[in-house]
Amino acid sequence: MNEVILVVNAGSSSLKFQVYELGTDHELSFTLGGQVSGIGGSRAAFKVKDSSGTCLVDRSLQPSEARNLAGAQEIMAAWLQERIPAPPIAVGHRIVHGGPKLSRSVLITQEILEYLDSLVPLAPLHQRNNLAPVHVIFEHWPEIRQVACFDTAFHRTQDNVVQHFALPEEYFERGVRRYGFHGLSYQYIAGRLREILPEIATGRVIAAHLGSGASACAMVDGVSRETTMGFTALDGLPMGTRPGRLDAGVVLWMLEQGMSHDEIQDLLYNGSGIKGLSGISNDMRTLLASDEPAAALALNYFSYRTAESIAGLCVAAQGLDALVFTAGVGENSPEIRTRVCQHLAWMGVQLDEAANAANSLTISHPDSCISVHVVPTNEEAVIARHTVETLLGQL
């Protein structure tokens, strides 16, 4: 095996990884990838597939094995050490927040790591978990170079007006601004469109990254103009356990009712969204299969607010040529796509029912004024490429 790049994407309940071989011309070849899922739950599992899709590992884990992210890292590291003959030349990490100082991928130094640790309050559900493997590698394998790739970086092209809140300028200077997230996913979609749908790639595109976390982004010629998430990953579209757009007065009311900071944070990050609204689940499949009125309310709310935000993003794009669905729900749920697009019928959006049911690349009807597509995302591929580019910049 040639020299390899390891990509790590550590979340709150999963640890994803991919391995890429690095050729002599610095080209990347995907070798294998997998994840430890269900961390901290009763259905934890470890799965790995190679580049042909062949399953290399598929086993359930005891709760004690993947009780936390540290346990998941041990499982991943032990398996990789047996599979890869030499340590990776670098590890690329998805880091949700780069703050106001970092707008491109960087080699992680101790100083950079301390800065990224200081941003945990801006993304408490993600940043600490993203950085956990970085700390472990620094401690056990300090010779391995590590690269931080930021979800916020893609959106730094946005206009100054878009990045501001209507607050005194001193707050903007202190970092209180609209950052936007899911940037690695949107960057992949922008690049992928140039390969598979070049006729729309240079136009006005809105990509809807719909998963447990959800957002939408308006792009013109592959450049971010506006996105729904803002200062933190709480803003914008309703999500699995996060409320999305919320009147700040609600938080003031919670404080007045005696709720503590930690109680409010837990509610907003873990107890809201479609889980909180339905009182049933944060899984769209469960809600779609339910006859409960609360499930219907959550689904209707999600589809309506998503469509509303897509329509609003047209202001930044100055129109709309194509709508792209991506991420777990966006790629795999024809019903959710239908519900969202029904709210956009007034814009001339029409779906082809058969193509939508088949999760086809193009799911819009030939008579649709706006083309609609399903494009699987691959954040890890973007991280791998950024890692190599950052290493080359250090040589």
Residues serving a catalytic function are 151
For residue 79, CA distances in Å to 46, 102, 144, 236, 294 come to 10, 33, 18, 38, 43
Q: What are phi and psi of 379, to 5 degrees?
A: -60, -35
Q: Can you tell me which residue has the tokens 């795999």? A: 332
Decide: helix, strand or coil at residue 218: strand
Burial class (CB in 10 A: 0-12, 13-18, 19+), 278: buried
For residue 14, CA distances in Å to 39, 44, 314, 381 come to 6, 9, 34, 18
Q: Is the separation of the CB atoms in 375 and 189 below 8 Å?
A: yes
For the CA atoms of 147, 152, 153, 155, what is the dihedral angle to 10 degrees?
160
53 Cβ contact partners less than 8 Å away, ≥ 6 residues apart: none
Q: Which DSSP symbol is given to 27?
A: -
Burial class (CB in 10 A: 0-12, 13-18, 19+), 113: middle
- Encoded amino acid at 50, one letter: D
Q: Can you tell me which residue has the tokens 């837990």? A: 266
**Nearest-angstrom CA–CA distance, 286 and 282:** 8
Joined tokens for residue 284: 């769209």
Joined tokens for residue 347: 């814009």
Helix (H) or strand (E) holding 36: strand 28-37
**Nearest-angstrom CA–CA distance, 26 and 30:** 13
Q: Can you tell me which residue has the tokens 């706006």? A: 370
CA-closest candidate to residue 133, choices 78, 182, 94: 94
Residue 353 CB coordination number (10 Å): 12
**Nearest-angstrom CA–CA distance, 15 and 75:** 10
